[in-house]
Chains A and B, each alone.
Chain A
Amino acid sequence: MNNVIVYCEIEDGNIVDVSLELLTKGRSLADLLKVQLDAVIIGKELKGIEQQLYPFGVDNLYVADDPRLYPYQTLPHASIVSKLFEEIKPEIALFGATSIGRDLAPRIASALKCGLTADCTSLEIGEHEDKKKKKIYKDLLFQIRPAFGGNIIATIINPETRPQMATVREGVMKKEIKSMSYKGKRINLEVEKYVRGEDFVVRIIDRHIEKSKINIKNSQIIISGGYGVGSKENFDLLFELADVLGGEVGGSRAAVDAGYITHERQIGQTGITVRPKLYIACGISGAVQHRAGMDQSAMIISINKDPEAPINQIADYAIIGDIGTVLPKMIKYYKKNTK
C-alpha cells in the first residue's frame, strides 16, 4: 500500500496549525496502515522548512520552492499537487478545510477523478463489504461528517479511487509532536516540470491577511450565543460575562446569519472547533453542526428558555431561564466573590 500525504499550508514562513494537526492525524493513520507519512509544501524561500515538519513524523517531504509560488494561487499549486499525486499515487491525501484547502482540493479531485469529502469531523480506518459486487475492501478511509444541515452523520468512503481525499477544519484534530529528533527525507521538486506557463495568469494586486486577533480556539472559557439571544445588543451581556471570567465570545451559525455576531466567532462544523474547560451556551438550541464544534468541552452549561432544547441533552447543567436574567446574576456573584 502507498503512503498517506498531507498538503501543508504556509503563512509568513510558518506552517499553519491545521496542517500540523493533519500531520498528527496522518501519522496515526499511516501507523495503522503500516505505511509512511508524506507531506508536500509549496511556496518560496523554503530553506530549512523541514525542521518545522519532521517532528510531526514526516518521512518524505516534497518541496516546490519558487518565488512565484507564494502567496498561494490555485492553478500552479493544483498543477504541482495533481502531477505529484499521479507520480507517487498516495493512498490518502489530507487538506485543511481552509480558504486554500477548500479552493485547491476540489480542483485536484476533479483532475484525478477521485472522491473528496469536505469538512470531516473524524477519520478512521475500516473495512467495507460491497454486497452487490461481493467484494471486501480492507483498510478504507472512513470519512465521517455531519450532512444535510447537520441532521445526519454520514460515513463516506471511496472504494475504488485513489487517493482518498478529505478536508478537515482547524482545531478538529489534535496537534502532537511525535519526536523532536524524528528525521525524514527532503525531496526537491523541479518546479518547471510541474507547472504550465498559463498557470500564472492570475495576478495578486493586493493582499491583507490579519493575524487572528480573536483567539477563541485557545480560550479556556467560551460564552457562546445562538439565535435565541435575540439581538446584537443582547450579545453585549455575553461579552460582559466573557470579560469578567477571562473568556471569549462565540456564536452559532444562526447567530452569525442573523448578524448578531461576526463570522470569525462562529463555532461549529462550518466554523471553529473548540475544546474549552467551560462552555456556556446561551440561547443555542444545539443543532448537531454546532455540537460538532463544541461537544468536547470539559463542561457545558446551557441557558435556554426551552427545557426541550437538544443542547440540554449534552449539557452538564441546563439552566431553564432567560439570559437577560441569568447572565447578570452570574456576573454579579463572580464580581462579589472573587479577588
Chain B
Amino acid sequence: MKGYKIIVLAKQVPDTRNVGKDAMKANGTVNRAALPAIFNPEDLNALEQALRLKDRYPGTTVTLLTMGPGRAADIIREGLFRGADDGYLITDRKFAGSDTLATSYAISLAAKKLMPFDLIMCGRQAIDGDTAQVGPQVAEKIDIPQITYAEEIEKIEKGKITIKRRLERGVETVECPMPLLITVHGSAPDCRARNAKYLLRYKHAKTWTEMQQDTEDYLWLREDRPYLDIREWSVDDLSADETFLGLSGSPTKVKKVFNVVFTAKEAKVLGDTDAEMDDLMKELIENHNIG
C-alpha cells in the first residue's frame, strides 16, 4: 500500500489564553514578546488526525507547513517530535502585515509546490485571531473541496474520505473525494505527546538560517543526516506575486485599535455575610429582578 501524502498547516501563536498584566505595555498596546509562543491548539488536533492516518495507512507521510518569523521553526520541530516526517517554514519579511487573504495566497503557493498531495489538514481557527478563514481560503485558491470542523476521520476507501463534522447544533457525516482540505475542530482528540525516539532523532533539526548561527561540527552532522534540514521558503522560492502579499495584498486594514478599558461604573461592593446577602436578595425580589 502506498499510503497518503498529508500536509498539516500549523501556526505559531501568542498564548492569548494566558494574558497576564505584563502583557500590556505602559502605552496600552499588547506586548507580544511577553506572551509565550505556542503551537496553535486546534492545529495540534489536526496533527493528531494526520498522525492517526499515518498509523493506520502504512506509507503515509505527514509534512508540516508553517508561515512566520524564524522562531516559528519551533512549530516544525514540535511536529517532528510527535511523529511528522518533515517540514517547511515560509518566511520572509515581505509577508509581514498579511491578513487572512494574503496569508492564504502564500500558503496555497507552498502547498502547490508540494503537489501531488492527498490531504491538507489544519485547525479550524487560530487563537490569536479566531477568524477560521485561512483554511477555506487556501482550499479555494487551490480549487479543492473543503470539509470544515472535522471531529473524526472515519475511513479512506477508493480515493474517498469519510469525515464526521461537528456543527453548532449537531453532527454531519460526509464523504468527499481526495484531494481536499480538512479543518479540524477542537472537540477532536488531543495530540499525542512527544515521542522519546523522535525527540532524539530530530533534536538538531534546524533551518538553514539557524544552522549558520551554529557551530562547524553541526553543519557536518547535517550532511550526514539530511532529515535534520527544515527547509525555508521565501517569496522568491514561491515565485509569489508581491502585490498579493503583506500589507499591499491585504484588503482588510486596521483603522483603529483600542486597548480595552472597562467603562467605569460604580459597582456596589458587598461582602458575603448573611446580612448582606439577605439585603441584596430582598432588593432583587422587590425590584422584580428575580421572582
Interface positions of A (Cβ within 8 A of B): 71, 74-75, 78, 98-99, 102-107, 109-111, 113-119, 128, 142, 146-161, 201-212, 221, 245, 254, 257, 263-264, 269-270, 277-278, 286-288, 291, 298-299, 301-302, 307, 310, 312-322, 325-326, 329-330, 333-334, 337-338
How far, in whole Å, are A339 and B11 apart by their CA atoms in the complex?
56
A147-B257, A152-B30 known; 5 new pairs, CB 8 Å cut-off, are A107-B140, A119-B131, A148-B129, A299-B289, A313-B263
Q: Which of B115-131 contact A (CB under 8 A)?
A: 127-131
B272 near A319 with CB under 8 A, answer: yes
A314 near B17 with CB under 8 A, answer: no
Contact residue among B133, B135, B278, B289 (Cβ-Cβ distance under 8 Å from A118): B133
Contact residue among B132, B173, B277 (Cβ-Cβ distance under 8 Å from A206): B173
Nearest Cβ on chain B to A303's Cβ, whole angstroms: 8
* Residues of chain B at interface, number, CB under 8 A: 76
**Residues of chain A lying within 8 A (CB to CB) of residue B14:** 148-149
Stretch of B47-55, B145-153, B195-203, B205-213 lying at the A interface: B145-153
- 29 A-B pairs whose Cβ atoms sit less than 8 Å apart in the complex: A71-B172, A75-B145, A102-B132, A103-B136, A103-B148, A103-B149, A107-B146, A110-B140, A110-B141, A115-B252, A148-B30, A151-B259, A153-B257, A154-B254, A155-B254, A155-B256, A155-B257, A207-B170, A207-B171, A245-B291, A270-B130, A286-B262, A310-B262, A313-B262, A313-B264, A314-B262, A319-B270, A329-B277, A330-B280
**Residues of chain B lying within 8 A (CB to CB) of residue A106:** 100, 131-137, 140
Nearest Cβ on chain A to B111's Cβ, whole angstroms: 14
Q: At the interface, yes or no: B99 with Cβ under 8 Å from chain A?
A: yes
**Residues of chain B lying within 8 A (CB to CB) of residue A111:** 140
Nearest Cβ on chain B to A121's Cβ, whole angstroms: 12
Prevailing SS type, chain B contact patch: mixed
Closest to B254 in A: A154
Prevailing SS type, chain A contact patch: mixed
How far, in whole Å, are A321 and B272 apart by their CA atoms in the complex?
5
A333 near B251 with CB under 8 A, answer: no
**Residues of chain B lying within 8 A (CB to CB) of residue A142:** 255
B171 near A208 with CB under 8 A, answer: yes
A277 near B289 with CB under 8 A, answer: yes
How far, in whole Å, are A14 and B289 apart by their CA atoms in the complex?
33
Nearest Cβ on chain A to B227's Cβ, whole angstroms: 34
**Residues of chain A lying within 8 A (CB to CB) of residue B174:** 202-205
